[in-house]
Amino acid sequence: MTSEWFPRPVLVGAAEAVTGISSGSTIAVTGAGGGILEPDALLAALEARFAEIGEPRDLTVVYALGMGDRRGGGTGHLARPGMVSRVIGGLWTWSAELRELARTEALDAYALPGGVISQLFREIGARRPGLITTVGLDTFADPRHGGGRFNSRAAEALVELIELDGREYLRYKPFRVDVAFVRGDTMDRNGNIGWAAEAAQLDALAVAQAARACGGRVIAEVKRVIDGVLDPHLVHLPACLVDTAVLVPERWQTHAGEYDPSLCTAAIGAGEDHEPSLPTGARGIIARRAAAEVRPGEVLNVGFGIPSLVVDALAAAGRSAENTVVIEQGIIGGRPLTGDLFGAARYPQVMHSSTTQFDLINGGLIDTTCLGMAQVDASGSVNVSRIDGMINGPGGFVEISQSADTVIFCGTFTTGGLAVDVVDGELRIRREGATAKFVRSVDQVTFSGSRALAHGRRVLYVTERAVFRLTTAGLELVEIAPGVDVERDILPHMGFRPIIVSPSQMGPAVFGTLACPVS
């Protein structure tokens, strides 16, 4: 039988592709920050249709990792009153407009762990009864602590507490997916789609699976169509899963540029000649001190922001080859990018789906992780999911922090205008931040200190002026920066008094120009 007899996606324009989407539909979308695998043309076409005729309305939109450019792209296309009535997202920070709709109760706002959403797509795609996991227990996702609801409109319970063999689990409930928006790089003459020139695979296959199992439609955005056939090893989305394809030849690989081969190819010795550029001030100090906790041979994960700078701190110390770095977007090896392109890596060694990556993470892949922190309380619990009353979402934070052997939270001691200098190897606080991060009780629990202790996790909190360790008795101050006075510079800016026994001084290399060697 020739390939002409196989079903193939119908190739249409973006406007035509979205015409069949009816009001009240549930749309599942793949994509990640910085424009990685983001089907922006489809989202823009959906927005344009709503602006023109007021349809479709009251959509439910579900995605695992944040999408957008903070200027109306990605999930920002959905931020029109009446267009969307419910959003279930892993990360909301890429769209200020969508977050504002959540704040003003213009839609039902939910956030769940990013890996949970990705894996739930797969469970829906296999017609299984939801996702049963320990991920999210004792956090905001636990129904005893809100169940992922982020405003009063979010009334429906999306997750329930169950018991199996005497152990607690969460069951994240399945839902119907009517439409899937996915993206790939190349579609061949048989309609098979590959990602060879993309910066990540993410959960595109799981998203498509969910829609197909529900009898929904799968719409794929591609950059090129070739007359030949793809190597079967490079096909990640088979034609039989896709209903409609949209050709967008002008689409960029990421928001940074049309195509960067280093984001999708491996290279021997890649990164060894990289000249790391650590920022001065508090961020560089924190990155160097956190890097000192990373042991040779470990599998290391880094999060967005200051934690991602730990990779540069290791490089500055000539330690790039000592560890394997993984990020939740499905990448193993290479050098993760920082800033808005976090989620991609230069010269990755392995690039598989984020759904699979979360399986590995939950199974104990990560030895040490460096993550951010917006708030920390006396029990060692951390909040990154609700900041200043606004929905933020956790991304992969929950899965990673609940599974890594060592968790290092990285962040400035205070925020909102903090400025520090290093003078003669000592820290000088030139201007204190307006907002304390160490508070009596966090606004929301994204990481449970008590759960971490119960499971034997090693937990540190690294700031520019102090390092804390989680103990069964609470947070202990274990190091202070040279030039810092505990009574003057630390205790007045904490909502609780930490345990203080005999804190040592942070090593001098942390305040120099080189990254701190392993301790």
pTM, 2 dp: 0.95
pLDDT band at residue 509 under the 50/70/90 scheme: confident
| pLDDT score of 1 more than 50 | no
Q: Are the folds of 8-247 and 282-511 the same?
A: yes
63 three-state secondary structure:
strand
Q: Is 328 a catalytic residue?
A: yes
Q: Which CATH architecture has domain 8-247?
A: 3-Layer(aba) Sandwich (3.40)
pLDDT tens string 174-183 = 999 999 999 9
What is the model's pLDDT at position 278?
Answer: 74
Closest residue by Cα to residue 331 from 311, 358, 312: 358
Single-letter code of the amino acid located at 193: I
pLDDT (average), residues 79-97: 95
pLDDT tens string 428-467 = 999 999 999 999 999 999 999 999 999 999 999 999 999 9
In angstroms, what CA-CA distances link 254 with 200, 257, 399?
10, 6, 26
Q: Report which secondary-structure segment, H or E, holds 361.
A: helix 354-362
Closest residue by Cα to residue 95 from 397, 392, 446: 392
pLDDT band at residue 279 under the 50/70/90 scheme: confident
pLDDT band at residue 518 under the 50/70/90 scheme: very low
pLDDT band at residue 515 under the 50/70/90 scheme: very low
Write down the mean pLDDT value for the chain: 94
pLDDT (average), residues 348-356: 97
pLDDT band at residue 274 under the 50/70/90 scheme: low
Contact between residue 79 and residue 85 where contact means Cβ atoms under 8 Å apart: no
Catalytic residue among 328, 399, 464, 479: 328
Please state which CATH class domain 282-511 belongs to. Answer: alpha beta
| pLDDT score of 508 more than 90 | no
Residue 117 token pair: 């959403």
Neighbours of 267 (CB within 10 A): 14
What is the model's pLDDT at position 242?
Answer: 97
Residue 377 token pair: 């309380």
Domain boundaries, the chain: 8-247, 282-511
Closest residue by Cα to residue 287 from 297, 298, 276, 273: 276
Contact between residue 445 and residue 401 where contact means Cβ atoms under 8 Å apart: no
